[in-house]
A and B are shown apart, each in its own frame.
Chain A
Amino acid sequence: GDQVEQSPSALSLHEGTDSALRCNFTTTMRSVQWFRQNSRGSLISLFYLASGTKENGRLKSAFDSKERRYSTLHIRDAQLEDSGTYFCAAEAGGSNAKLTFGKGTKLSVKS
């Protein structure tokens, strides 16, 4: 099965609302990254976390520091420009230094 499972696969929000995206890992991960892909296909890094939480404007991400098996991305006061596909990617660490991506959450923000 997939090592990185994202949920939900799609999400529709009204402007001004809050929501959370989630990534579950089937094994302990060393770090997690979150990306947004816009309508033109460009991938932008949002957060890199090895533990704890990070916040940037209306976005906040957390990585379960205890068991290291899930991460969340919170979107506060959603805006139209937040629309896109959000990917999480995790690294297991050790000799396996590769990132494994989830299949993404397609977010649509509507007025």
Chain B
Amino acid sequence: EAAVTQSPRSKVAVTGGKVTLSCHQTNNHDYMYWYRQDTGHGLRLIHYSYVADSTEKGDIPDGYKASRPSQENFSLILELASLSQTAVYFCASSDASGNTLYFGEGSRLIVV
């Protein structure tokens, strides 16, 4: 049974629209992360959280917001989607800072 689940798995959004990517983990982990993957760039950290109701900026936070309403749930919000945000987004959790990451299956976002 998947311990980190993302939704939606795929989405087409219009430029300027709002997009919310959701992530739910059943690992009982404190840390959760959102990464984006683009060809040639590997994975880059957007936002992360180490406790409910608190989020931290990663390496590329511009254009994104994050929300951690509970230990299990972590959302990534694109208030005004742009073409450059077309990518595959991965959520992950870990039990402590930097320890083994467990990834979701990814969410493919296409902005048109």
Using a CB–CB distance below 8 Å, which chain A residues touch chain B?
30-31, 33, 35, 41-45, 48, 87, 89, 91, 93, 97-104
Contacts and interface: CB of A to CB of B under 8 A. Distances in A.
Given A31-B98, A91-B97, A42 B105 contact: yes
A87 B106 contact: no
B interface SS class: strand
Given A87-B42, A87-B43, A103-B42, A33 B97 contact: no
Contacts of A31: 98
B41 A99 contact: no
Contacts of B44: 101
B101 A45 contact: yes
Contacts, number: 53
Contacts of A35: 101, 103
Interface string B26-65: 0000000101000011111100101000000011000000
Contacts of B35: 101
A33 B42 contact: no
A99 B42 CA distance: 12
Given A41-B106, A43-B90, A99 B40 contact: no
Given A31-B98, A43-B103, A91-B98, A98 B48 contact: yes
A interface SS class: strand
B79 to A, nearest CB: 23
Contacts of A33: 100-101
A27 to B, nearest CB: 15
B98 A30 contact: yes
Contacts of B97: 91, 97
B90 to A, nearest CB: 7
A35 to B, nearest CB: 8
A93 B103 CA distance: 21
Contacts of A104: 42
Contact of A42 (B43, B92, B100, B103): B103
